[in-house]
């Protein structure tokens, strides 16, 4: 697979967001408003949501490794997901 440039990543992210927006409008959503963006209210498939998250992390320079988030020279521990 070819490595995407930042411009290509940005264009793909915009495409995914536009797909979700069109589905929202097709479902009768208010054209002057937008869905919340929360899981289940973003009108994206699970695959699109994962791809969008990955692209946003790359474009923003966010790295998640070993339970820590690294961004702009800072880092912090992720909250535990134990239930």
Delimit the domains of the chain by residue range: 6-77
Chain-centre distance of CA 27, in angstroms? 21
Would you say residue 16 has pLDDT above 90? yes
pLDDT tens, residue by residue, 34-67: 777 777 778 999 999 999 989 998 888 888 889 8
Q: Describe the strand order of the beta sheet including 74-77 as a list of residue ranges.
A: 63-65, 68-71, 74-77
Residue 82: the pLDDT is: 61
Task: Give the whole-angstrom CA distance, residue 66 versus residue 83.
Answer: 19
Residue 42: the pLDDT is: 84
Calculate what percentage of the chain has a pLDDT beyond 70. Answer: 94
Q: What is the mean pLDDT of residues 4-30?
A: 91
């Amino acid at each position: 697979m070819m490595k995407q440039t930042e411009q290509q990543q940005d264009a793909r992210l915009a495409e995914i967001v536009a797909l979700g927006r069109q589905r929202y409008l097709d479902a009768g959503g208010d054209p002057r408003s937008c869905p919340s963006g929360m899981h289940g209210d973003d009108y994206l498939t699970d695959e699109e949501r994962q791809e969008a998250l990955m692209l946003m992390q790359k474009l923003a320079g966010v790295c998640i490794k070993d339970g820590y988030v690294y961004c702009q020279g800072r880092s912090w521990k992720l909250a535990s997901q134990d239930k």
